[in-house]
Structure 1
Amino acid sequence: MAERTPQARAAAIRRASAQARATMNEYDQEMLEQLRDLYLEASQRIEAEIDKAAGAGDRVALDRLYWLRFQIAQELQRLAEAWQSLLDQGLPQAAAIGSTPFSSALAKDQVDYINTQAVEFVRRYTAADGLQLSDRLWRINKGTSQRIENAIEMAIIRGDDAYRAAQAGMTAAPDALGAASPGKIKGTIRDLMTGRGSALYNAQRVMRTEINRAHGMAYQAGAAQTPGTVGTRFLLSPAHPEPDICDVHAAANLYGLGKGVYPHGKSPWPAHPNTLSYVVAVFEHEVSDQDKSGVETEAQAQQRITAPASARTPYTLDQLITLGQEVSRKLLRQAKAQYGELWPAKWPEIIYQALNETVGTNTPARVASKGAGADLVVAASRLFPDSWTKAADDFGPLTAKKQDSRAFYRPGPNGAGLLAVRDFGSTVHEYAHRLQAAMPELDDYFQQLHVSRTAGDPLRRMRDLSPGYPYAANEVAREDDYIHPYMGKEYSGRNVGRAGALEVMSLSLEWMLGPNAIQRERFAEYDRELFDMTLGLLFHYAP
C-alpha cells in the first residue's frame, strides 16, 4: 500500500526498526559464536603444541619452554589477526543493519555515508578510560598472551623443580610433580582461553559493545536525517538482566518528548559496555501534550522507577515485539531441531508445552451452561495463560452454545457474556473476545499497533475489501497490510477500545493457538511484527 501520510511513513519505519532489532540480535549472536569458535580453535592448536612439547613423556621439560613459548606466541598472533578481521567485517554490517529502516526515506548515498561515518566513529571513539578501539584490542591480546605465558612458565618450572627433587631422593608434593603434565597445562589453557572471566569473555564483550555501537550510531544518524523525527527513544531490552542506569535513561522525560525520548544528539545510549538496549525513532506527531507537560529531572525519574512493582510502567510495544522475537526464534529453532522443518504438524504441541512450562496453562474456564458449546469453550480456554483465564472468570459469568451459523461473543451486564461457537477455531477466536472484554489493557496493545499501522488509511466497506462474503453494509475496516482485511475491521459504540479494532487481538490469538496450521504459517511469514508481539504477550503479559 502506498504511504500517503507522515503517520503512515512513520509506521513503516517503526516496523522496519523492529525488524532491524531482530536482525541485529541474530547478527550479534552469530558474531559471538564465530568469535567463540576462533578461541576454541586457537586453544586446541595450543594444546596440540603442548602435546608436541611433551613428546612421549608425562611432562613438558624445562628445555622445551622456549620452543613452546614461541609456538604459543605464533598461535595467539594468528588468533588476534583472525578476530580483528571478524570485527572489521562486523562493524560495517552492523551499521548497515542500523540504517536499513531509513533506506526508503533517504537517498542511497546518504545511507552509505551514514554507514561509513558510524564505523569511523567506532574506530575513533575514546571511552571514559581513555582507550580507543585499537588500544582495547591491543590490551586484550597482550593480556591474554601474558597470562598464558606466565601460567605455562610457572607450571613447567614448578614441575621441573619437583622432578629434580624426586630424582635427588627428596620429597615433592604430588600436585607439584604433575604441574608440568600435558593434561594439567592444557586444562589451565582452556580455562584461560574460554572459561569464566577468560580471554574469550573479554573479547566477546568488546565485540558486542562495538558492533552494537556501530548499529546504534548508524540508526541514530538515519533517524536524525529523516524528516518528521524529533529524536530517539532509549529502548530498554526485555532481556536486560538487572536494574542499572539504563532503567533511568529509558524512563526519564527530560526534554518533554516522552519517557526515554531524547533529541537528536542528546541520547545517553549506549549507557555502558556490553549493552542490550537499543534506540528507536520518535516522530513529531507521536509526542503528546502529556509528554510535553511531563518534563522531569533525572532524580525524579529515578524515584519513580524505584516505586513498587505494581506502580511501574508496563511494557512498551517495542519491548513486547522484541520479547516475542526472542520467543519465536527459540521455538522455531526447537521445531527445526526436533522435526527438521520450521512448521511441523507438531508446532501446536511445541508452543503449548512452552507456554505451560513458562507461564502455566491448561486451566479450564468456568462456564455456567452445559453442552457442546460449553465443552468447546472449556477446551479452547486451556490453551491460554492461566492468569488470563482467571481474569476472564473473575470478570463475570459466562455461558456458551454451539450453532452452525456465524459465531459471536455478546457481552452482557456486570461482566456476563455469551459465546456462540461453531467449531474449535471459532471458539478460540470468540474466547479471545471474552479475554478482550475482561482485560482491555491487553487488547490496547493490539489497538495501539493498529492505530500506528493504519494512520491515514481510510475506512472501507468490508464487502468491497472481500467481495463475495456476506458482510453488512455498515461493516468497515482499515486495510493496512494485514493478511486478511477482517483483521482491520473497526467497530463503533461503547467498550471498543481506542480505535474499535477488536479483531486484531482475536484473529492473532486464533491464528497463533488455533487448529489452522496454514493460517499460522502465513501469519508468521507475512506479518512477523504482529506474530512476534502476540507471542510476547502470551509469554510475558500478566493482568
Structure 2
Amino acid sequence: MSAQSELNAIFEKLAKDYGKLNAKQQEFAIKEVGRVRGDIADLLADYSTKDGTIKRQRLSRLLRELDEVETLMRNYGTTALDSIIYESATFASSGINAGMVSTVGVGAVASAQLERLNKDVFEYVIKRYGDDGLVLSDRIWRLSGDMRDELSKVLRADIIRGESVSAMIANVRKVHDNETWKIRRLVVTEGNTAYRTATSYNAKRSDIVKGLLIHRGKANVANHQCTILSKEDRYGLGAGVFKPNDTEIYSPHPNCTSFLTYVLDGEVLR
C-alpha cells in the first residue's frame, strides 16, 4: 500500500473518531448550558410564597432578574464552546501528525509547534465571521437571548395562571429541552470548523502536502456547499482538491460534517 493510501485510511478513521468525539461534545455543551436550570430554580424559590406559587405583583421584578440568568447562560455556553474548539483542534493536529509520522516518517509540523498552531486555530474559529455576519460570541448571545425569551413567556404564563413553582421548574426544563437542537447545531458547526481548520493549518506548515481533498458531509445533500466543493476542480488537481489557504473549505456551511484529507506531493516524497 502506498503512503498516500495509508494516510487516506488514517484520515478517514480519524474523521470517524472525531464524529464520536463531537457527539460527546454536544452532550457536554447541553449539560453545561443546562446548569442554568438550577439557578432558575433557586430564583423561583426566592420569589415563592408559602403555598408554592408566585404572586402576580412580583412578576415584573422576576422577569427583570432573568437578565442575570441570560448572562449565566452566555458564560456557560462560552466556556463550553471554547473548550470544545480547542479540544477539536488538538484532536485533529495530534492525529494528523501521528498519521504523517507513521506513513511518511515526518509530522506535518514539529511537536514544539503544535500548541502554537492549535492556539492559532482557536483564535481563527472564535473570530471568524460566518455567512450570518456573526462571530462565535454573537451566536452564543443569540442562543442565550432566544432561551431567555422563551423562559420569560413560560414563566409569565405560569405565574398568571397561578401554577406552582414545581410546575414552573418542569416547564423550564421543557424550554431547555426544546432549545437543545440549537446547542447541537452550534457545537457541530464550530467543532467541525476547528477540526477542518486545524487540518488545513497543519498542511500549510508541511513541505509534502500538495493539496487538501474535501469529502462531503454525512447529509450528502446536492446543494450543500461541501458537496458542491467536492465536485469542483479549481486547480486541475482533481475534483475537490484545494489549497490550505482556501478558507471556504474550513466551514462550507452551518452544521457541516465534511472533512479533509491530504494529497501528498509525490515529487517531494521521491
The TM-score, its normalising length taken from structure 1, stands at 0.43
* 1:26 counterpart residue number: 20
2:223 to 213, 228, 244: 244
Instruction: Kindly indicate whether residue 260 of structure 2 is the aligned counterpart of residue 284 of structure 1.
Output: no
1:42 & 1:71 partners in 2: Cα distance?
13
Distance 1:212 1:11, change over 3 A: same
The share of aligned pairs that are identical, in percent, is 19
In structure 2, C-alpha distance between the alignment counterparts of 1:81 and 1:248, rounded to whole Å: 36
Tell me which of 161, 165, 184 is aligned to 1:204: 184
Matched, 1:109 2:92: no
Residue-by-residue CA offset, 1:44-87 (whole Å, 9 max, x unaligned): 55246435544443642113325543664444433332222122
* 1:37 corresponds to: 31
CA distance in 1, matches of 2:219, 2:252: 12
User: What is the deviation of 1:28?
Assistant: 0.8
- 1:129 aligns to 2:132 (yes or no): yes
Q: Is the 8 A contact 2:214 2:259 kept in 1?
A: yes
Is 1:194 the counterpart of 2:173? The answer is: no
Question: Which residue in the other structure is 1:256 paired with?
Answer: 236
Which residue, out of 227, 234, 248, partners 1:268? 248
1:220 to 195, 200, 203: 200
> Which residue in 2 is equivalent to 1:145?
148
User: 1:9-408, aligned counterparts within 5 Å?
Assistant: 10-11=4-5, 13-47=7-41, 49-50=43-44, 53-57=47-51, 59-66=53-60, 68-69=62-63, 72-100=66-94, 101-102=96-97, 104=101, 105=107, 106-156=109-159, 158-159=160-161, 180-182=163-165, 185-195=168-178, 198=179, 200-237=180-217, 239-240=218-219, 242-245=221-224, 246-266=226-246, 268-269=248-249, 270-285=251-266
Asked whether the equivalents of residues 102 and 226 of structure 1 are also in contact (C-alpha less than 8 Å), the reply is: no
Q: Is the contact made by 2:70 and 2:145 (CA closer than 8 Å) also made in structure 1? A: no
> Residue 39 of structure 1 contacts residue 194 of structure 1 at CA under 8 Å; is this kept in 2?
no
Kindly provide the amino acid, as one letter, of the partner of residue 236 in structure 1.
R
Counterpart of 2:257 in structure 1: which amino acid? L
Cα distance change, pair 30–108 in 1 and its aligned pair in 2 (3 A):
same
The secondary structure found in structure 2 opposite 1:268 is: helix
Cα distance between partner residues in 2 of 1:21 and 1:218: 13
Is residue 235–residue 279 contact of structure 1 (8 Å, CA) maintained in 2?
yes
Q: Greater relative contact order: 1 or 2 (C-alpha under 8 angstroms, separation 6 or more)?
A: 2
Shift of 1:216: 0.9
CA RMSD of aligned residues (A): 3.0
Which ranges in structure 2 are unaligned for 5 or more consecutive residues? 102-106
Once the two structures are TM-superposed, the CA of residue 219 in structure 1 deviates from its matched residue by 0.5
- After superposition, the Cα gap between the structure-2 partners of 1:12 and 1:99, relative to the gap in structure 1 and judged at 3 Å, is farther
* Displacement after TM superposition at 1:272 (Å): 0.7
Equivalents in 2 of 1:14, 1:114: separation in Å?
A: 22
TM-score by length of 2: 0.80
Structure 1 residue 278: Cα displacement: 0.9
Aligned-partner residue type, residue 102 of structure 1: N
Give the paired residue count. 258
Kindly provide the amino acid, as one letter, of the partner of residue 208 in structure 1.
V
**Match of 2:223, as an amino acid?**
D
Structure 1 stretches lacking a partner, 5+ long: 160-177, 287-454, 457-543
Report matched runs for 1:422-501 at 5 Å: none
CA-to-aligned-CA distance 1:445-475 (integer Å, 9 cap, x gap): xxxxxxxxxx99xxxxxxxxxxxxxxxxxxx
